[in-house]
Amino acid sequence: ETGVTQSPTHLIKTRGQQVTLRCSSQSGHNTVSWYQQALGQGPQFIFQYYREEENGRGNFPPRFSGLQFPNYSSELNVNALELDDSALYLCASSSGQTILNTEAFFGQGTRLTVV
Amino acid sequence: GDSVTQMEGPVTLSEEAFLTINCTYTATGYPSLFWYVQYPGEGLQLLLKATKADDKGSNKGFEATYRKETTSFHLEKGSVQVSDSAVYFCALSESNTGNQFYFGTGTSLTVIP
């Protein structure tokens, strides 16, 4: 049990639609990161939030956006869904601003299928 | 850019066999290196890490040594158990940012009794 909860666990959306994925972190974890894991691939960094501000972004288009709230919850929003967005989306939280000195705890992920 | 290359799986071993999963990396700076494990139906869990050259990370009988000269961080275990069946991910994070992991593609391990 990592203390990081993601919802929903599975989701099916139609191409062109918008989706919001949610993550609930452990209390005191000021940093949350989102990763996309395509089938058979390793997780790819989407972005990180630290104290409600974006603190780094990977190679993903602007239609991927996020929010972090003061209650240690966060959201990943994806607009104009494409078939290639089908993947497992992982949330990770940690207590420090970097993942070098504090452990990052991962949720079980949300499996998004775009049809 | 930064990247991690892992040996491809799947790997199937008999219980008590020796395990090696190869991992090499490319980094622009001075990375920390990690092994994460994903058991069936669960999220990624930190297995071990090393933050500088020649450091050895160890946990639950698994070991990996940070080799700067060969840019490698191979995972080893002397005697695997059925409960070690999982997907193993090698990852790095740069020391100058420390805000993201670069993961390998993962290696699936199945241990049979």
A50 contact residues in B (CB cutoff 8 A): 99
* Cα dihedral A25, B4, A66, A12 sign: negative
Q: What is the pLDDT of residues A16-31, one digit of tens each?
A: 999 999 999 988 889 9
Please give the mean pLDDT across all residues of chain B: 94
Distance CA B10, CA B6 (A): 11
8 Å CB contact between A2 and A23: no
Largest CA-CA distance found in chain B, in angstroms, rounded:
44
Of A48, A56, A108, the CB nearest to B43: A108
Chain B CA closest to residue A111: B41
Closest CA to B73 of B21, B113, B36: B21
Task: Find residues 91-110 of chain A whose CB sits inside 8 Å of chain B.
Answer: 92, 97-101, 103-109
pLDDT score at B43: 87
pLDDT score at B101: 94
pLDDT score at B9: 84
Q: Do B97 and A92 touch (CB under 8 A)?
A: no
Residue A1's pLDDT band (cuts 50, 70, 90): low
8 Å CB contact between B46 and B32: no
Interface membership of A33 toward B (CB under 8 Å): yes
State mean pLDDT over A33-56.
93
pLDDT score at A77: 98
Please confirm whether the linkage preceding A43 is cis (ω < 30° from 0). Answer: no
pLDDT score at B38: 93
Q: Do A42 and B4 touch (CB under 8 A)?
A: yes
Interface membership of A41 toward B (CB under 8 Å): yes
Range of weakest confidence among A12-21, A50-59, B79-88: A50-59
Instruction: Phi first, then psi: give them for residue A85, nearest 5 degrees.
Output: -80, -10
pLDDT score at A28: 86
Q: Would the pLDDT of B95 be above 80?
A: no
Please give the mean pLDDT across all residues of chain A: 93
Mutation site, B23, B95, B100, B102, interface A, largest A CB count within 10 A: B100
| Segments of B7-106 assigned E as strands | 11-14, 19-21, 23-26, 31-38, 44-50, 56-59, 62-65, 75-77, 86-94, 102-103
A19 strand-pairing partners: A78
| High-pLDDT (> 70) share of chain A, % | 98
State mean pLDDT over B46-50.
96
* Cα dihedral A92, A97, A98, A104 sign: negative
Q: What is the pLDDT of residues B27-47, one digit of tens each?
A: 988 899 999 999 988 889 999
pLDDT score at A2: 62
| High-pLDDT (> 70) share of chain B, % | 100
Distance CA B6, CA A45 (A): 18
